[in-house]
Structure 1
Amino acid sequence: MSRLILFNKPYGVLSQFTDRGSDGARATLSDHIKVPYVYPAGRLDRDSEGLLLLTDDGKLQARITEPKFKMPKTYLVQIEGDIDDAALRQLHNGVLLKDGLTLPAEAEHIDEPQLWPRNPPVRFRKSVPDCWIKLTISEGRNRQVRRMTAAVGFPTLRLVRWSIGDWTVEGLAPGEWRKIQV
């Protein structure tokens, strides 16, 4: 049996167990998870939140992270501005980034989700509206969601990975994790 850990990675935590930075003072997975021999299946940027999967099974790790398996990843994204149908169509059809055209994504405008507060909070500006979208992609380029929303004219303010495949962060507070057998 393989072990799989579903972790709700808080904002500001690195997706690794040690900080290789100059002072080593940034928060890491080791501040939250004390389970030996598990490793992240993919990454989630320090300034992003939500579901991070960890496993002790190399084959499962590859199935989760390898683009050829096209495991869907769903994000709840707060963006600057009020997104329009044209921008949603662009996201749906694929967006041209510096490293090529993205695969088509599922993209829809959603009501503000009921999430935990972010620490620190997203900067609020009265004069600039914001809204939320749900974006599902099946590839995992570096900072892809942020680059996609910026490319269609709506920069990302907050990024929460909600699910990977059938696994979800639902019911987990930031910093909490749950172990399941697969």
Structure 2
Amino acid sequence: MTGPAAVLIGLPGAGKTTVGLALADLLGVPFRDTDDDVARLAGRPAPNVLRERGEGAFRLLEHRAVVAALAGHTGVLSLGGGAVLHAGTRLRLAGCRVVHLWADLDTITQRIGDDGSRPLLEGDLRHRLAQLTRVRLPLYRQLATVSVRAEHRAPREIAQEIAAALATTP
């Protein structure tokens, strides 16, 4: 199989970056986050791009970043929580080892807290997360090769579970 060793998807606050870094370390491969790629492409932080250009333009830029990362990265790749909303991105993920990290809303709400750097979560955080869950969860489930709970455990432990699951997944 070519492409990334694992592609992490999930809601904001599910632990994609933290667990992704632990998984990359465990596997001895590099880690890459497409939010960083979006920021490089746009010349400004990803949340600023979202605020300034709107979600539609952001998703197109994000799709470009995902396509490039899928083609050129062999380590662990973390996607932004909404990357799966773009149909082209979903098509590109076919055949990849996609790991859905999920946590309950209480855990995610606690992790995010009053972090103002997430434009799509402004306002009533719990309500916004519930809305995102309704839309995105079916897509995460459709794309996932492996689904792992990412709560109440250390990132290294979650990474070990993912590595074990991927070892038995074609």
Same fold, judged at TM 0.5 (above): no
Higher strand share: 1
TM-score (norm 2): 0.29
TM-score (norm 1): 0.28
Higher Cα Rg, which structure: 1
Higher helix share: 2
